[in-house]
Amino acid sequence: MSSRHEATAQPSACAPSPIYSRIVGTGSYLPPKRWSNEELVAWLAERGVETSSEWIVERTGIQARHFADPDVTASDLGLVAAQRALEAAGIAASDVDLIICATSTPDMVFPSTACLIQQKLGVHGSAAFDLQAVCSGFVYALTVADAMIRTGAVKRALVIGSEVFSRILDFKDRTTCVLFGDGAGAVVLQASDRPGIVASRLHADGQHANILCTPGTFRGGEVLGDPTLKMDGQAVFKLAVNVLDQVAHEVLGAAGRQADSIDWLVPHQANIRIMQGTARKLKLPNSRVVTTVDQHGNTSAASIPLALDQAIRSGQIQPGQSLLLEGVGGGFTWGAVLIDY
């Protein structure tokens, strides 16, 4: 006679096969106005802010970033990235039943940027919401969409990261204003009978909220506090390198894999030294790190999908390869997603 344990361990002939999610299309968009370091340095100098291209390149690896025009919003950038991802996937916007937009620079307090993108796509009825985990936003959003697909709640999701960080920069603060840029990236995630997203892990620790924040808010129709980005760069740097290494091993462990199985590390593009430091700890050569920070700066929640899309479209990333996406940002938040592309 079978024990209760043995009975449950036997797969039933009628058991439904597990549902996984796979990336079936990617897209990205950068606002046309590109600011080289030299242009930004000259513009800042006119306003009495002293910096240099050499300092920016040496400390961060950033050579240029894009800034959106004043009337362009996160939903405008996210819309184009989403349209490109849908085109790459060969599906219509009406085929999508979930839209998540990761952003910390939404068009308005509400409705969500995701709802505005849905309206601009000309479709109605799909679930749509924003997810705010700052620079970890995209790995958070991807993990949520993957979970919803695995439960069978949705079949196709648009996962977007879109930011206009230029809106929250203090251009009198040279320690932050040279680091960030605007942009958007998106993926279409689709239900599949074989794994695309293999494992993911997310974390947060609110005790570090003050090392990276935009503390202003609204009250009585007035802006209360400072609505521009504040950062303790060295504290962020140290924490980022540690947590990125920890979460990389955690997600690899969950999948039963070793670091040398990773074909491409696709990290949040904050600083080349953090990215290469993470790769070094994983014993991965820099040649296996997708790098766009030099041309985009830090685009927060948009940085990973932007880098992913560029590496796929350029042919760097090939079908069948193993990707480790890693995000870290304000909150403090961090997370990783392991993908068989």
* Contact set with ligand ACO (CB under 6 A): 51, 55, 59-60, 134-135, 174-175, 178, 212, 231, 233-234, 236-237, 240, 270-271, 274, 298, 300, 329-330
Which token pair is 44? 């800042």
Gap between the Cα atoms of 114 and 243, Å rounded: 29
Nearer to ligand ACO, 68 or 178 (CB): 178
Known catalytic membership, residue 5: no
Nearer to ligand ACO, 132 or 200 (CB): 132
Nearer to ligand ACO, 104 or 118 (CB): 104
Name the minimum Å distance from CB 127 to ligand ACO. Answer: 26
Gap between the Cα atoms of 300 and 162, Å rounded: 8
Which token pair is 102? 């990761």
Name the minimum Å distance from CB 56 to ligand ACO. Answer: 6
Known catalytic membership, residue 14: no
Name the minimum Å distance from CB 122 to ligand ACO. Answer: 32
Which of 37, 66, 115, 268 does the annotation list as catalytic?
268
Contact 186, 78 (CB under 8 A): yes
Nearer to ligand ACO, 212 or 312 (CB): 212
Axis crossing angle, helix 272-281 with helix 53-60, rounded to the nearest 10? 20
Gap between the Cα atoms of 272 and 328, Å rounded: 14
Name the minimum Å distance from CB 49 to ligand ACO. Answer: 8
Which of 135, 177, 271, 296 does the annotation list as catalytic?
135
Known catalytic membership, residue 268: yes
Strand-pair partners of 23: 189
The size of the chain, in residues, is: 341
> Where is 20: in which H helix or E strand?
strand 20-29
- Which residues participate in catalysis according to the annotation? 135, 268, 298
